[in-house]
Structure 1
Amino acid sequence: MKKLEKIALAHQLKREGFNVSAIARKCGVSRNTVYAYLEKDFDTAMEWVDILKTRRKKLDVYQDVILDWLREHPDLSASQISDWLEERCDFWEVGESTVRSYVKELRVQYHIPKILRKRHFEAIQELPKGKQIQVDFGELKVKVTDGRTMKVYVIAFVLSHSRYKYAEWQEKPFTTRDVLRCHENAFEYFGGITEEIVYDQDKLMTVSENGGDLIFTEEFQAYKQNRDFRVYLCRKADPESKGKIENVAKFIKYNFGKNRVFHQIETWNEQCLAWLERKGNYQVHNTIKKRPVEVFALEKPHLRKVSLPLSFESNLNYSITRMVHKDNVIKYKSNRYSVPLGTYQSNEDNTVYIQEEGEKLFIKSSPDGVLLATHKISTGKGKLIKNTHHSRDRSKGIAAYMDTIRKSFQDEKKIQAFLDELYERYPRYIRDQLQVLQKAITQYETFTQQALDICLREKLWSANDFHDVVKHLSTMKGVEEQTPEDELSATSVPKELLKQKAALRDMDSYIKILGGI
């Protein structure tokens, strides 16, 4: 009787003055179906429904086959069944939506529910007052007064303890300078700054995770040092690591911006601030069951005061970026260029920086970082340009990797203690840390044991610290860094480019540690 009820509802809504589009939305059917419903009177509708009950369907011939598939694979989707019917049974006579409806009926009739593999998440303890701000971005299409639609962009801030929010909109995508300006406005709105700020991964702030020692864009690094806050960066494509981030931007977009007519950005931001006072920060929060404005009154004294707003003038030029695909290639000007096997890492930031000089294309891990590959630029289209040495499998298991590193040291107990600390402090980045360590051992083999002793004595628990110490020891002894010959021959790179190094931390901090050595 479900179809009969929909037919009756369509006629009722038509009598009440609803148009066909509105009726289709309310009945959950297409407009063509609504037209068909409205053409039927009650008697015709009854006859039609009876026919539907008894008529044979084209898929009935394959019912037993489909049931066998569903019983064997309860998680099988209707799309896969449609594909299997075409592939295995040469059946093409119905569309995928028809298969979907048929499979849905079979699941109900024969009690074969679809198995969904769910990921389990753990509730997180509430953070103390003044501990953390979370930052989120969003965009929204809005109607303009002349009937057009346009896209506006929002950055949202929320205090983790009180859920007190601030948001700022603009008509163009955010730049790093825009983000920093909005930070200053948020700190002024909150009346202070927290110890930590949480970000989803964004190219406006971060360049690379560098084995756990985050590398930020130059502008953001300078700002972070000036304002002296700690950064928590969520892992890309990992929803569990993003458990701290509330989707506050989505809340603001659909509770403030949806169906609102846009006039100008200044008015829009004024309306948003008024909405925050009236609604966003005043209504009872569903999790803490309190009004954010009331909890914020208790949290505000715990915020650290900030100085006057900063200026963000900058003339920085950024390199062109590309994403490394899972087959370890980048796309550039309609061609594909290889990078070393293992460059792509699942759930990691796979951005690389490219630079074109003459007929050469240079691919780097960061603007001033490691050179990953050099290619001659192809004049064709749709081609794969691949270096032969990029096909070697450089991956190792963590245990085997550690064992290789242990054998490079005279005192295996000391290196084991260092490796244990690395694993405890950088569990998410242990492979990256081992790669940095292996590189330092290869380049400065003579000084590795001495550097290890210093790191253990001074509690420098990072592969990057180890690399800095061993490099400093080598510099003091007048020994230059050695680049393996096979790496030099594998890439035809100009000497002046090979001499470019990534920015390192100030070595003055190690001179005191290394005094007298």
Structure 2
Amino acid sequence: MDKWEMYMEIQQLLKKGFSKSKVADKLGVSRATVYRHLKRSPSEMAEWVESLQTRKKKLDPYKELILNWLREHPDLSAAQVEDWLMERYKEQLEVGESTVRAYVRELRVEYKIAKESSPRDYEAIPDSPMGEQVQVDFGHTKQKTSDNKEVKLNFIAFVLSNSRYKYKEWLDRPFTTQDVIQAHENAFQWFCGIPGELVYDQDSLIVVSENGGDLILTKEFQHYKQTRNLNLRVCRKADPESKGKIENVVGFIKYNFAKYRVFNNIDSWNEQGWEWLNRTGNRKIHNTTKKRPVEVFSLEKQHLRPVSGNINFLNNHENSITRSIHKDNTIRYLSNRYSLPLGTFHKHEMVSIKETKDRELLIYNSETGELLAKHQIPDGKGQLIKDRKHTRDRSKGIDTFIDTVAKRFEETETAYDYLDKLREKYPRYIRDQLQMILKETKQNNEQLLTAALSECIKRNLYSATDFSDIILYLKRQRQVHDTTNDKAETVSPLNSISGWIIETEAQKRNVDAYTVLLEEGDQS
């Protein structure tokens, strides 16, 4: 309903006897709107409506830009439109929130751009006294890059409960406990002091467990808590209302600052974030307090405990992300599995990991800092990244087995050379080969074994089967010599292939088999 139609409807309802309050209720407008319309005569109202059609509005020069934003992102809020305008035209544009809100609303109606929304409910919590409390939480977003790729960004946010004064810090990788501690130091510098209480969710970088109210902190954060003399409180599970202020801040950061913003690099992203805090996050009038956080903060910071000195943190294994070791001696990181040396699962429950700038994953012993493994991080997901050194060392058992077999020969060194070549020829069946030779060493004397070994090397026969055949041949030769008592060298038959080969007899078929074959040939 346009303004002239509303004016005429108000006049008609009043003539029917409705009160001004009832007219406002029926039309869904405020009583102030009804009173404002009634101050004008029909001619004055007509002139005013006509003037609205031709009057130039303050945001008209930016109309096409705002329209493009709304068409590309239908769920864009008027508050975010205002922030984007201030970011681009801060020096030349002075405009109020209500002006932007009304202008965006009119554009939506005129160009039929419906607003998509997904509201979230929060419970009201009484404000804490000045300087008493800061609430802390984590969040993440997925942003488009300048080359239209997608990157996941993580942030930590802080808000002073009384003034709603905010601080945030971003990383393009997962936070470590060291990062969290450093972010606290930066936040305390931003706030110019430390509040009386810090409220957290049950995050694994800070809290190991909440044992009936007794907090068990991670080792490094416990040390930091004692160093800074911090008073911590952790929210109970499934109780977001107790930190509703920071929940709102996380949503504000996601949907006002980050949404549809293009990511270039983490340094410029953080710079833009701090500018946004000064321009919008801490300067915009808060919907609940109806005050600007920056103005209230000027009073609240006087109630904060001063920050004494700076704390330096070493970039060591104790401040890394931790991961559980699975029974197959792997850990999981960014949807991939990474191998560890065999036996690590039985020695340790957890390991520390750290990602380097060169996309390498370093895995440490959480207690000693010993480097257990190093892997290159791949681009894909669902992969097993395995170091060959982490496979079972199958050579140790074979080496011991070779020692056992070689020591059964008089010429041990010669036996080692022979067995090593056997290993090269039959790498997959070396154990079977060694078992066959070991069996021969147990059944024959050293003299016969030495002769067989020498004959195999001489004739280049590297096989346990050949070794057994040579022993059998030598035994037969000795039996012939013992029978004839003739030490003269036996003359080999002319048709024999070699004197050392065991005599074999070809398989003989029955004549009937050949007859059957011939008959089948004639039939075909």
**TM-score bin (small chain):** 0.3 to 0.5
Normalising by structure 2, report the TM-score. 0.39
> Which has the higher Rg, Structure 1 or Structure 2?
2
Normalising by structure 1, report the TM-score. 0.40
